[in-house]
Each structure stands twice: as C-alpha cells, then as structure tokens.
Amino acid sequence: MSGASIEVMGVLNVTPDSFSDGGKYVDVETAVRRGEELMTQGASFVDVGGESTRPGSEPVSEDEEAARVLPVIRALVARGIPVSIDTIHASTAEAAANAGAGFINDVSGGTHDPRMCDVAAAASKAHGTKFIIGHWRGIPDLGHHRSDYTDVVTEVRDALTALAAQAIRAGVDPAHVVIDPGLGFDKTDAQCWQLLTRLPDLAATGYPVLVGASRKRMLGEMLGGLPGAVTAHIDACETHERDLATSVVSAFAARAGAWGVRVHDVAGTTQALAVEAAWSAASQPTTGSGLPAASTAEVGNGDRITLTGLEVFAHHGVFDFEREQGQKFLIDAEISVNLHAAAAGDALGQTVHYGELADAIVDAVKRDPVDLIETVAERVAAVALGFPSVREARITVSKPDAPIEHPFENVSVTVVR
C-alpha cells in the first residue's frame, strides 16, 4: 500500500483531559468545525473519542461518554463525514454505530467490555461497520510492569489474531476487521519501535493494520534526546512538537504496508504521505518520457501481478436458494507490487507466490456465506493486501449465473484498495 491510498484517521477528542488536546473541542459546535477541518486537510474519516486512556486519567461513565460523543457523531454524519467511535464501552459503540459511525475503534480489542464483540458483530451485519481491534493489557501503566514480552511483535501479532478470531466467531465479517498493535499501551519505547519496524509481520495476518503513533511518549523521548532539542524530557515536551515526527512515522508506516494511520495533525501527515507516494512512484522503472513503464494511469502503483478467471464454487447470495445450492464465482485479482528485486535476483521470496495467492483467495471466497458480491470483493482485497509488499489490490468478483430474468453475459463488482 502506498501513501496515495493509505487511510488517515483524524483524531477528535471531545474530552476535557486527553493528553494532547483535552478541553479544546468539548462543545458540539467547536467539535464539528474541527471535524470538518480535519476532512478538508485530507482525513479519510474522523475518530471521535469521549474518554481519555492516558495514564492516570479518570474513568468516565458510559452515560457521560455517550453524552459527549453522540451529538458530535450525529452532526458529522449529517454533513456526510465518515466517522469512527473511539470507545471501550459496548453501549457507546452500539449507539454510535446506530447513529452512523462506520468504525468501532476499541483500544482494548473487545477485552474490556464482554459485550463489545456482540455489538461489533451486530453493527457489522446491520450497517457494515468495521471493527478496529487494538492490543493492550489494560489502562497504560507508566511503570511498564505489564511490558514483559519475550518477543513483542510475535506476542502482539498472536494476541491480535486471537482477538480477531473471537470477533469473527461472534459474527463480525472478516472483511470488517482492522488490527492495531496498540503503541504505548503497556509497551516500552523500544518495543513500540520494534512493532513499527516489523509491521509486515502484522500485515501478514491478512488483516488491515492501523498505526497510532501520533504525539506519543515514544516520540517525545526520542526527540528529547536530540542535540539542541527544545527539551530533554518528555514531561516538558509540548505534544504538538511531535507532529513532524508523527508525519515521518506515517510515511514509513505507509511504505511498510499499513492500512491506515491515526493522527492529530492531518495536514502534516497528508503532506508526508504525498512525499512517500511520489518517492515510490519515482522508484519504478520508467519509459523515455520519465513516466512508469506501465502507463500514465498507473503512476505510483508499481508493477503488477494479475490473476484472472479464478473459479470458486461458494454459497453467497441474497436468495435462500443461492445459499443452499451454491453457484460459480469468478475472481480477477490485480495486485501492485515492486517486482524489481525479484526479477533482478530471480528470487521467489521477493515477489508474491501466485499459487499461494490463489489458495488464499479461494479460502476467503468459500467461507461464511454473505448476501453481496461487494462483501466478497472487500474480503478478497483484504486477503491480497495481507501479502507482504502488496501496495494495492484491484479485485473483481463476477457472478455469471446470477438469478437475473433477462439475458446477460455477466455481472461483477470491482473494488480498489
């Protein structure tokens, strides 16, 4: 995935005590204006939170949290702005999804509230709401008494995989699952950097990966150690001074295959992602005109592997007889991946094994019957993007035997992710 297609989640805290912007957007009108501003700066959607999870923060009742976030969510949705709800409470998540939130962002991954997975499943089925599953071991502990990992990347990956499986068993569509390694949640600065440098290990789970490094302690500690830094200690470092570092992390995360980044400074991040996208585009083989060899329409998308006409028998469809009898689906997959290293070294490990890609697609199409081929296409795209180094996936799902009364050749849906 390149910076041109990565999702940017703009942070909107409607709280009096969040660690970087608490108290700035506590009234509805100001919060909505900020949400509109984030979108004009390049946000894909706005993440509305009503309770701080910073160390030492005071817990908020579910009623108070709902009173803070729901009027803002309703107002943003009414303006056509995509919204996420940042909460660890199932009741708040449920109300927000019913109000139009397209994402439930739970930093606890459904472990804090035993009802969360069921709520996420109901929202997934009723509204297509996505479930962002974060990793934590509880409210952050500055003493790091719970940061005792042997291999933080492997343990976080395995924990997130288990949490995703739990959500799917509850009824969340696999195509609606996003994972977040939970930077700063019971992880030392060094462990956070390890997670970032091994993002491809997390993407290999097959789930989109969200990175939330914005203004966090790990950046403050790093900046405080620089020669000539404004401050040498995190407590004296203004959080907004970490925005440039956040943007750099966002660009590296895009290059490493992250699905999205969660940031306070959307404008700076959008610029950094544009630089990364231009850099990636310029690194591709070019024609004499200076454009990538494929075509002018493919600038920044890189080389391609195309798999067409993959036939899968599955039980998807709106009608009962379609689910009972099953039918043929045809899958076309076109993935963007830099093939220079593979070609130069004749190295299978530097490309995507199209046999393994075909197996993964077949498995994804066969599981869990759904109504729409749109849902199947989204699921296949998520699987394709889970392969290391895949930057973009164009997936077409065809249904040649669809129950249409009139003569036709084919019906298909194409998604680009």
- The CATH number covering residue 184 comes to 3.20.20.20
Of 265, 280, 295, the last residue of a domain is: 280
Mean pLDDT over residues 62-72, rounded?
95
CA–CA separation, 169 vs 108, rounded Å?
A: 18
Strand, helix or coil for residue 188: coil
Please indicate, yes or no, if residue 366 is contained in any of the structural domains: yes
Q: How many CB atoms lie within 10 A of CB 197?
A: 12
The first and second tokens of residue 158, run together, are 């395995």
**Pick the catalytic residue: 157, 187, 216, 379?**
216
Q: Note whether 201 and 210 are within 8 A (CB).
A: no
In a domain, 133, yes or no: yes
Higher pLDDT, 408 or 295: 408
Q: Say whether 264 sits in a helix, a strand or coil.
A: coil
Asked whether residue 120 carries a pLDDT value surpassing 70, the answer given is yes
- Categorize the per-residue pLDDT at 56 as very low, low, confident or very high, splitting at 50, 70 and 90: low
> 320: domain CATH number?
3.30.1130.10
Residue 358 has a pLDDT of 94
Q: Looking at 251-403, which runs of residues are DSSP E strands?
A: 260-263, 304-314, 327-336, 392-398
pLDDT of 220 > 90? The answer is no
Residues 52 and 190 in one domain: yes
Pairwise CA distance, residues 13 & 22, whole Å? 7
Give the containing element (helix H, strand E) for 214: none
Tell me what pLDDT residue 337 has.
Answer: 81
- Amino acid (1-letter code) at residue 17: D
Mean pLDDT for the stretch of residues 262-268: 94
83 within domain boundaries: yes
Contact predicate 167/110, CB 8 Å:
yes
244 domain-assigned: yes
Determine which of 35-49, 295-309, 393-407 has the lowest per-residue pLDDT on average. Answer: 295-309
pLDDT digits (tens, 9 = 90+) for 267-276: 999 999 999 8
Q: Determine the distance from the C-alpha atom of residue 69 to the mean position of all C-alpha atoms in its chain, rounded to a whole number.
A: 22
User: If 0-12 CB within 10 Å is exposed, 13-18 middle and 19+ buried, where does residue 28 land?
Assistant: middle
Is 294 within the bounds of a domain? no
| Residue from 262, 391, 394, 417 carrying the catalytic annotation | 262
In the annotation, is 216 catalytic? yes
Residue 256 burial by Cβ neighbours in a 10 Å radius (0-12, 13-18, 19+): buried
Same-domain pairing of 317 and 273: no
**Residue 225: which domain range?**
7-280
Residue 382 neighbours by CB under 8 Å, 6+ apart: 174, 175, 177, 206, 207, 208, 364, 417
Separation between Cα atoms, residue 36 and residue 29, nearest integer Å: 11
Does 94 lie in the same domain as 61? Answer: yes
Alpha helix positions (H), 173-216: 189-197, 199-203
d(CA 381, CA 396): 9
187 a catalytic residue: no
The candidate with the shortest Cα–Cα distance to 193, out of 266, 110, 123, 253, is 253
Tokens at 69, concatenated? 């976030």
Same domain assignment for residues 92 and 241: yes
What's the mean per-residue pLDDT of the chain?
Answer: 85
| Together in a domain, 330 and 219 | no
